[in-house]
Amino acid sequence: MKHVSFLRASVALVFAGFALASPLSAQDDLMDFFDEPTGPQVVTSAFKAGRIINVQSPETSGKGEMNFIIAHRFGRISDGAYALWGLDNAQMRMGLDYGLTDRLQVGVARSSFGKTLEVNAKWRFLEQKSGGGSPVSLTGYSVLMRDGMRFPEDGIGRLGIHRISYVHQVVVARKFSPEFSLALIPSLVHRNLVDQPARANDVGTLGAGFRYKLNNRLSVNGEYHYLLPRPIPDDPELRNSLSLGLDIETGGHVFQLHITNSRGMFERSFLSETAGRWQDGDLYFGFNINRVFQVGSRR
């Protein structure tokens, strides 16, 4: 009995063997081979340029890429026809950003505003990934700024170190759809010396910025930075920075046109020293032009 049942089982198994390896299974749709899930994919290009308007976006120069940024902020629109609504009078910033890797960038810049020189570093240390990865990208940015104005002849003994200020920030960004990206940007400003006793050396801000793509070459951008309460009563003339703009891409260039109530184009200035009031027309028209050159190898 035992042997008979073993025989039956064996025969059944042999037929099962034929059935499993039968050519019929080879007729299955080949496309099922492609259905196997792939790993999480990096979500790229949340923003077009390295800056949303004034503030850093999560984007960095690619490895070996030199990004030349020339930016202007004209005078106040409220200055009227005599100053051609501000166009007679421009502040300028020239910057170079270089990608050491696809995620780590170093830069230098010079602004005519305060004759300020800056050196900066930016590192996107976490990528947003679809399919089970991180829902946001995290980018750290630090900049050291050196004010270059002559010290006033007021008898106060200032040192070179007093020209220095720093800003550190983290950009938490998410590309929600191919069109819409949002970033939250907490920042800390430290000034070695402030120009009024009532001003705090350390100022915190909480910022937000967005990009909405109208088409593949045009997007609307905006950003806002809220000054966090400071420990000592501060200058009542300080304002939160609010900017709105357009990004226009043409091949190797990105043109960014905007209006903002911040005149300076480096972080200390627009985060902690913005004085313009939107409701009074204290607005500055300006642009950033980004031009990319591949100077080093990508591999």
Q: Which residues bind another protein (CB under 8 A)?
A: 3, 6-7, 10-11, 13-15, 17-18, 20-23, 25-27, 30-31, 33-34, 38, 41-42, 44-45, 61-65, 99, 102, 177-178, 216-217, 249-252, 292, 294, 297-299
Least Cβ distance, residue 222 to another protein (angstroms): 20
Compute the least distance from the CB of residue 257 to another protein, in Å. 18
Question: Least distance (Å) from another protein to the CB of residue 71?
Answer: 19
> Judged by CB, which is closer to another protein: 60, or 205?
60
Which lies closer to another protein via its Cβ, residue 38 or residue 279? 38
Instruction: Select 3 or 150, whichever has its Cβ closest to another protein.
Output: 3
Nearest to residue 267, comparing CAs of 171, 166, 193?
166
Q: Between 158 and 298, name the residue whose CB sits nearer to another protein.
A: 298
CB of 15 vs another protein, minimal distance in Å: 8
- Decide whether 45 or 89 has the Cβ nearer to another protein: 45
Least distance from C-beta 253 to another protein, angstroms?
A: 10
| Residue 216 · residue 255 · CB < 8 Å | no
Tell me which residue of 252, 187, 182 sits closest to 222, measured CA to CA. Answer: 182
